[in-house]
Amino acid sequence: MKRREFLLAASGVAGGTAAAAAPAGAQQTTTSGGGNQSGGNGTGGTQTTTSGGGNQSNGNQSSGNQSEGGGGGGGGTETVVVGPGGELVFEPADLQISPGTTVEWVWESNTHNVIPTSQPDGAGWEGSGSEGETFDTGHTYSHTFDTEGSYEYVCIPHETAGMTGTITVGSGGGGGGGGGSAEADPEHMGVPFQAHYVGIATILMMIMSLIFTFFFLKYGESPHTSGGNR
């Protein structure tokens, strides 16, 4: 191969690689967060939100069931099982909810209570039972959480056995602690993540083309190459 032919070929490879890189980056799509994601021509405006706060019943005191809470609730209902299968646990033990959500505790074994040990200022959550009062299977208790923050509670008779629970109200996580920032998503850094690979490949191809060009210009063509200019 002659110098001129090689240089033309090397320039064509570098130019073709760079041209291929441009549409690869341009065709990347970014999905925006939220409930209305669109993927081209699709529409996402059909999201339905179900609120269950209005279905709470407050007329069960006669059967030993308790309910309390402020504001009527508008964030739906979550259930915590007390002593499932006779185990000394709350299920789930850690619950994260939005403000206005009603939490209902349902007893599935005997001799348990729900006693708050920590809550945000002004929350006014009293729990169900006391140090000397417990409830048995079939008992239920509900409370609507409006104040954001972290709520911790225990079953006093079984606290030493690890029967504790936590409720976090709001999207900010547990109250009081200094939360670290989440790791950045590469797709939110300004350039679609796949475009980095295309750019690296383009740079490598250009470097290799320059190296080959340098060696051919410095040392000349192979003595075995035949051509009209020899």
**Residue 217, both tokens:** 């210009």
Sequential pLDDT tens for the chain (230 residues): 555 565 555 555 455 544 444 444 444 444 444 444 444 443 444 444 444 444 433 333 334 666 766 545 567 999 999 999 999 999 999 999 999 999 999 999 999 999 999 999 999 999 999 999 999 999 999 999 999 999 999 999 999 999 999 999 997 544 333 334 445 454 444 545 566 677 788 898 899 888 888 877 877 665 555 555 54
Q: Which residues contact 226 (CB under 8 A, 6 or more apart)?
A: none
Where is the binding site for Cu cation, in residues?
A: 112, 155, 158, 163
Closest CA to 151 of 92, 113, 94, 66: 94
Asked if residue 65 lies in contact with residue 106, where contact means CB atoms within 8 angstroms, the answer is no
Query: Is 224 noted as a catalytic residue in this protein?
Result: no
Look at domain 64-169 and name its CATH class.
mainly beta
Q: Check: pTM over 0.85? Answer yes or no.
A: no
Which one of 1, 139, 143, 163 is the catalytic residue?
Answer: 163
Residue type, 84: P
